Each structure stands twice: as structure tokens, then as C-alpha cells.
A and B are shown apart, each in its own frame.
Chain A
Amino acid sequence: MSGRSGVAAATGAEAFSAELPAGRPTGWWGMVMFVATEATLFACLLGSYFYLRFQYGPQWPPPGIEEPTLLKPLVMTAILVPSSLPVIWAEHGIRRGQRWRLRCGMAATLVMGTSFLALQATEYDEKLHMFTMTTNAYGSLFYVITGFHGLHVLVGLTMISWLLAASLRGGGFGPRRHERVRNVAIYWHFVDVVWVGILFTIYLSPRL
């Protein structure tokens, strides 16, 4: 920086790095708004599920399709929902400058999310013998809603792998530089919370 007084002292790189970030950054608001619009999309899909169900008649799922079993989805829930914990742990770690915690946390979440997707694949394998998305409206709802969520898990996992790769390549995450970590964390928490809504709608509500 030039050695001028006044303006330069307040606008130079030194001035930026001297102060700790105050207030919520733009990226935080951007991600929150993105998640809000995505959540509304899921709300529309789940709303469509209930709309079609209540228009359909007393027996739901329709004749020929068994009620969904609970064991596997509950195991999937037990894997996916706690996968937010390593993310929180990693985020708190990087705020203190502990990069190892960021790396370990992201790796743990990556493993848990991938196991969730693997379980979902076996679930599809079973269900596809019973019905497909072209069998009837129930099949369409089941595969499109769970599939759309699975796609979101995949996107989240891509973001986490990206973060892990960037942090291993020395992407420079640190106490004052973790906005991206926080944005990925928000997205991942969102994917988890939506799953709870899907668990209730697809797997629990037919039993009510």
C-alpha cells in the first residue's frame, strides 16, 4: 500500500485484516434465502402428496402396494440426522483455526451421507420389484419426492467434498475465513431437516 496517511490507513489491506468480521456477511443471507426457496419447493411436493392422497380414497397406498416398512428409513434417519453434528463440530473448529477439525468433520459427514445414499439405493432396489413411478400416482409421488431429496443429498455431498478438497489443498480457511464452511453447513442442515419431513410424509403418515 502507498504510504499516504488518512485514506490509505483506513482502506488498505492492513485495515481490512485488522478488524474481525462484524455482522452477517452477504453469503450467509444468500444461502438462507436459497434454502428458503428450496424448502418451499419441498413443501409444494409434500403438499401435493397429501392433496392426492386425500383425493384418492380410503386405502392408501393404493391396492397392490404394501405399507412402507419402517426399519430401513429409521436407520437412514439415524445416519443422516446425526451427520449434521460433525459439520457443527468442524465449523466451530475452523473458527478457532483448527483446520484438522474441518478436515475430519467433513470426511465423517461424507461417509455418513454416502451410507445414506447407499441405503436408499437398496431401498429402491426392493421397492422397484413392487411398483415404479409409472405404476400410479402413489409411485410417482414416492420416487419423485425421495429421489428429489436424494439429489439434494448428492449436491450436499458434492459441496462437502469440494470443501474437503479445498481445505486439503490449503484453501486458506481460518479463524476469519470460513464463510464457505458456514454456507455449506447451512445447506447440509437443510437437507437433514427436509428428510424428517419426508420421513413423516412418506413413511409414517400412511400408518396414521
Chain B
Amino acid sequence: MSTTSTPSAGVGREDLERLAAHWEERPSLRAWLSTVDHKKIGRRYLVTAGFFFVLAGLSALVMRTQLGRPESGLVAPQEYNQLFSMHGTAMVFLFATPMLFGFGNFLVPLMIGSRDMAFPRLNAFGYWVFLFAGLFMWASLPFGAAPNNGWFGYVPLSDEQNNPGLHMDVYALGLLFLGISTTSGAINFIVTALKLRAPGMSLNRVPLFVWAIVATAFMVVFALPALNADNAMLFLDRRFGTHFFDPSHGGNVLLWQHLFWIFGHPDVYIIVMPALGIVSAVLPAFTRRGVVGYVLVVLAIVSISIISFGVWVHHMFATGLPQLSFSFFSAASTIITIPSGVQIFAWLATMLLGRLVLRVPLLFVIGFIVTFVLGGFTGAMFAVTAFDQQTTDTYFVVAHFHYVLIGGAVFPMLAGVYYWLPKITGRMYHEGLARWAFWLFFTGMHVTFFPMHLYGLFGMPRRVYTYPNIAGWAGWNLVSTIGSYLLALGVLLTIVGVVHTLRRGRPAPPDPWGGDTLEWSTASPPEPYNFPVLPRVHSLHPTWDARTAESTGPGASADRVLSGGRRTLLTSELDARQERAVAMPESTLKPLALAGALLLGFTALLLAWYPVAVVAALAVAATLAVWLWPPRLPEQEEVGP
């Protein structure tokens, strides 16, 4: 069943030495800055996104402390606005998506049996841009210049007259900068999953996690441009006097909301979908069977990614748009619950039909199902326009989307952290610590957010820095605040658990869980080249299939060893027939240089140093030209890009 990475007869010692020589990097500062290894980049994404999660969580703790009792004076209104804006912006843009990109980066090449992503240098570039854009946005907080208008940046609150200063310039430029990273990452996932799958991994054998990542990447490709257009127009309006959102000169404030939610609603699925993919990846190992209804789940993933583009107006039911348009968007918002339900029932059936192994990852999956279903119920309530108009902009909405996002994204992510920690670190986590972390997190989450439904229905509005002593508000707010501290304690214990794993954890075997996907056939942590022999896949559950192990064992086909350089295999898009070997790039500092030039450019734009911005643009062009300059190869030695 579970194979190891010890040299098999199909690959000789000499091959292994050559593979190691080509792929290993000796530790040095230069190697650290120039690596293009998807596993290192994936780990960096996870750590950096986790860091931004902690910052955004601390912002929330300050807010909850402020709201713990009525008429509290802990933070001033302007500070409160910046805190909730950075909390939302960071959780959505700097934590949720990058965290899932981190999982994707580490896992997709391993799950599809490849040696790296399709564009390793672009991958490194995407990480540096994410890091720089995140720091760019957080750095504004100590200066009191952070975004102060919510994560959605509605005009006219965010235009120059109503919101002077750098706040919303940081928002617009920060998100444009970050968008470069998200887009390049998404394109990389699509091409990797299309072209680099192991021979035999036809579309009906692709792991559900990879399906989810690819569907998400397609949503990013077609949704993110709306946000980019919006932010470019906002920046031009604020800084250069255009009038896109200015009604006194023919603009329209609702244009912002339309474009924002054309992006923003798919973005909910951009966050939740890969997390659901984690659930589908974790379940087989702890139920001892494949997810029920593979084809239905794939169809659900694909249809959600399409329908999600037709529901954006349900965020705008209270804006006075024509009533007729509501019926379409109300119907679409109701319909999208069907594929979501299909997935939930597939997981429930998997658990009913399988033999449950109640380890911590499975606990988090169960926590996810409970929480996410509750959030889904209140979501379906919003599709009723009349109910939506009653509860919009109250804490009921806050409760709803925290149930959806913590339930639908954070619980699965934590399941994923514990599930893959042995693979990523090569060590086992401490079961007791992890169980404590789960129960604190689960209890804290519900104690914090369930009461918000109540005081939302009692009429408490969102985004207020304080409130008068109204019966029913004060008590429940205090309960929420206590819950938030429990929640934070759960996060703290998770961090302690990860550090403990790195320091004290006992060495992990290649496959501690009996997982069904290819990453479990590699060493823990995987070798720099992932697979000594690129496997040949014969079924949906390759590591449960003796033929896959045979394909890398004695008599393995020599054309899947590829030890003559950094090489991997290209296969055809649909049925994964072997096409040819390609050379993969060596480590390089160019991605870092390019991201640095962009950071200089965006900083110069923010501070209105336009000549510096021009210099930075030229530096970007020059770096790209050098990056893409064709290597001098004699014609007969061509092996691709």
C-alpha cells in the first residue's frame, strides 16, 4: 500500500545521485532568496498568510474588547474604522486566498505526480509580490493611514472629498499590487493541472482538491479583473480627478458596487471552494473510503464556479435598483445552494458509509460541517429580498458571513494544517494539544458569533465603534467578547502545536494516515525532486492501487526517471497521455528583483513620487526582458522553455 521513497529497482543509485545534484540547493542566503521549489514557496505562503491572520485576528480582539461593554472608550472612532477595515481586508485578501494558495502550491504538484509547478519562477515571483503587498498594506496602520472604509471600499465614502488622506489610496494600490500575485498564481495552477499531471491521470482521476483549486483559479482569472478595474478607477478618481464615481459629473456611485460584487461574490467561493477541496482530501483517509459521488462533486464544483458570477446583485438589494432584477438574482442565489448541498450530502454519505477514525483533522471537518451548514441557512434567508432588507447592515450579516467564512474556510484549513503537517514538516503533531486547540476554537467560534444573530435581529448596526446601553445588546456583546478570547486561545494553541511539532515531534512515516493521493507516496518531507520515478496513475486513488506502486517499482519505465537535469513530463490536457519531457528552470534572483521593482513603483505612486514611479516601470521592463531572454542553446539541444 503505502510506498516509500527508498530507491526502488527501477531507478538506480546513480539516478538518485544525479537527481539530487540537479534539484538540491545548499543552504545559503542566496539560495534562500532565489529558490523556485514549489514546496518551499508553499510553506512560505502558509507561514506568511498565517502571520497576516494573526495580525488581523489581533485587530478583531481589540474591536471585541472595545465592544465588550457599552460606551467604551478604548479606541477612537477613526482608529476603530481602520481596525475593522484592515481586519476584513486582511482576512479576505491577505489570509484566506494566500493560505489556500499555500496549500495548493505545496500539494498540487505532489498530488498530480509532477516535480514542480508549470512556471516555477512565476511562482516565486507571486510569493514575493504577496509578501510585499501585504507589508505595503499593514505598514500603513502604525502611521494611522490604513484603509478606513470597510473591506468593500464603497464610494462615495471612499472618494477624495469624503475621505482625504492616504487611507483609500493604500487600499486601491495595495489590492492592485496584490492582484498581480493572485492572477499569476491562478494561471500557474491552471496550466500545472492541465499539462503536468502524471501519465494516466485523466480528468476522471484528478483528486477533488486539485479540481477545487483549478475551478478557483478560473474564477480568479475571470473575477479579479473587475476588482482591478474598480480600484484603478478609484485611484484615478481620487488622485487624478476623473469622474467615474462622481454623480455631479456624469459618474455613478453604484458602478463601484456592481464591479466590486461582480468580483466579490465569486470571491466568496474563491475562498470557500479550495477549503471544500481540503475536506474532500481529508475525508478518505479518516473514513477509509473514497468520497461518495466523485462525478457529482466535480459537477458541483464546476457549476458553483459558474453560477457564482450570477448572484452579485444580492449584495445590493437595499440600493434601490429596479425590483424586477431582484427576482433573477434572488433565484440564482437560491439555486447555488443546490450544488453546495450536493457536496455536503456527499461528505455525509462518505462518513456514514465509511469507518470513522476520529483524529483531529476529522474533528475539524465535523466542526466545519456544523458551522458551515448554519451559515448556509442564514445565507438562504438573505436570498429572500424582504428579509434581506430588514437585516442588511446589522450584526445578523456579520454573524452570517463569519459562520460561512470561518466555517467554510478556517475549519477546513485547520483540518488541512493538521492533516498535512507530517508531510510538510516530516514530524507528527501532539494529539492532546491539537484536541484542546480544536475544542477551544470550536467553542470560541460559536460563543462569539451565535449571539450576533440575536443582537443583529434586535437592530444593532455593523461598523459602529460603540453603542448605548440598550437592553439585550450589552449582555450578548459581552458574551461575544468572551467567546473571541476563547477563539484566540484556540489559535494560540494551534501555533504552539505547530512549533512543538517542529521542535519535538516524532519523525513521521511517509504515509501516517493511509491517504489515497500521490503526495503520500513520497517521503516526509518530500525530496527536492518529489518523485524519483514519476508515477503512472491507474485509478482515482493511486496510493490505494498496487499498479501505481508497481509503475515506480522494479521495471519502471526509464522515460519517467528523467535524471539528466531539472526535468519533468508534459502530458495531454484531457487524458494525460505522455507527450514529452521539459527542462525546468534553475533558481534565480530575477523574481525577487521584479517584485522589488514593483514594490518601489507602487510605493512611489502612493507617495506621489511620479518620476520614481517611471524609473520603477523601466526597471520592471528591463527585468522582464532579461528574465525572458532566450538561453543560448544549440538548435539540437532544445528541450523547451
Contacts and interface: CB of A to CB of B under 8 A. Distances in A.
Nearest to B629: A166
Interface stretch (A30-38, A72-80, A106-114, A196-204): A30-38
Contacts of B632: 170-172
A89 to B, nearest CB: 21
B118 interface: yes
B187 A33 contact: yes
B640 A144 contact: no
Given A37-B183, A172-B632, A134 B241 contact: yes
Given A16-B639, A22-B579, A158 B621 contact: yes
Given A36-B222, A37-B225, A172 B635 contact: yes
A37 B252 contact: no
Interface in A1-53: 1, 4, 6-13, 15-17, 19, 21-27, 29-30, 33-34, 36-38, 40-41, 43-45, 48, 51-52
Interface in A111-153: 133-141, 144
Nearest to B117: A26
Nearest to B226: A44
A96 interface: no
A55 B78 CA distance: 34
B393 interface: no
A62 B250 contact: yes
Nearest to A26: B118
Interface in B237-272: 237, 240-244, 246, 249-252, 255, 258-259, 262
Given A37-B225, A176-B638, A7 B187 contact: no
Contacts of A23: 195, 570, 572-573, 579-580
Given A21-B580, A36-B221, A40-B222, A7 B561 contact: yes
A6 B639 CA distance: 19
A34 B187 contact: yes
Contacts, number: 182
B580 A45 contact: no
Interface string B542-564: 00000000000000001101111
B566 interface: no
A45 B186 CA distance: 22
B567 interface: yes
Interface string B213-227: 000000001101110
Contact of B640 (A8, A52, A173, A179): A179
B531 interface: no
B191 A17 contact: no
Contacts of A135: 249
B628 A174 contact: no
A56 interface: yes
A162 interface: yes
B639 A41 contact: no
Given A26-B570, A41-B228, A144-B233, A11 B187 contact: no
A12 B564 contact: yes
B160 interface: no
A138 B250 contact: yes
Interface residues of A, number: 61
Contact of B243 (A15, A33, A36, A134): A134
Report which residue of A136, A138, A179 has the largest number of chain B beta carbons within 10 angstroms of its beta carbon.
A136
Contact of A52 (B119, B190, B195, B255): B255
Given A11-B558, A138-B250, A140-B243, A26 B119 contact: yes
Contacts of B573: 23-24
Contacts of B251: 52, 137, 140
A48 B233 contact: yes
Contacts of A141: 244
B224 A37 contact: yes
Contacts of A171: 629-630, 632
A38 B559 CA distance: 38
Interface in A177-195: 177, 179-180
Contacts of B15: 7
A48 B639 contact: no
30 contacts: A1-B564, A12-B564, A13-B637, A17-B638, A23-B573, A24-B195, A25-B570, A25-B640, A25-B641, A26-B641, A29-B190, A33-B191, A37-B183, A38-B225, A40-B222, A40-B225, A41-B229, A44-B230, A134-B242, A137-B244, A137-B252, A140-B251, A144-B233, A171-B632, A172-B630, A172-B635, A176-B638, A177-B633, A177-B635, A179-B640
Given A16-B639, A136-B250, A177-B633, 8 more contacts: A11-B581, A16-B581, A19-B580, A21-B580, A33-B221, A52-B255, A171-B629, A172-B638
Interface of A: 1, 4, 6-13, 15-17, 19, 21-27, 29-30, 33-34, 36-38, 40-41, 43-45, 48, 51-52, 55-56, 62, 133-141, 144, 158, 162, 166, 170-174, 176-177, 179-180
Interface of B: 12, 14-15, 118-119, 122, 183, 186-188, 190-191, 194-196, 221-222, 224-226, 228-230, 232-233, 236-237, 240-244, 246, 249-252, 255, 258-259, 262, 558-559, 561-564, 567, 570, 572-573, 579-582, 621, 625, 628-630, 632-641
Across the A-B interface, give the 7 residue pairs with the lowest CB-CB distance, nearest first: A137-B250, A140-B242, A41-B225, A134-B241, A44-B229, A40-B225, A7-B558
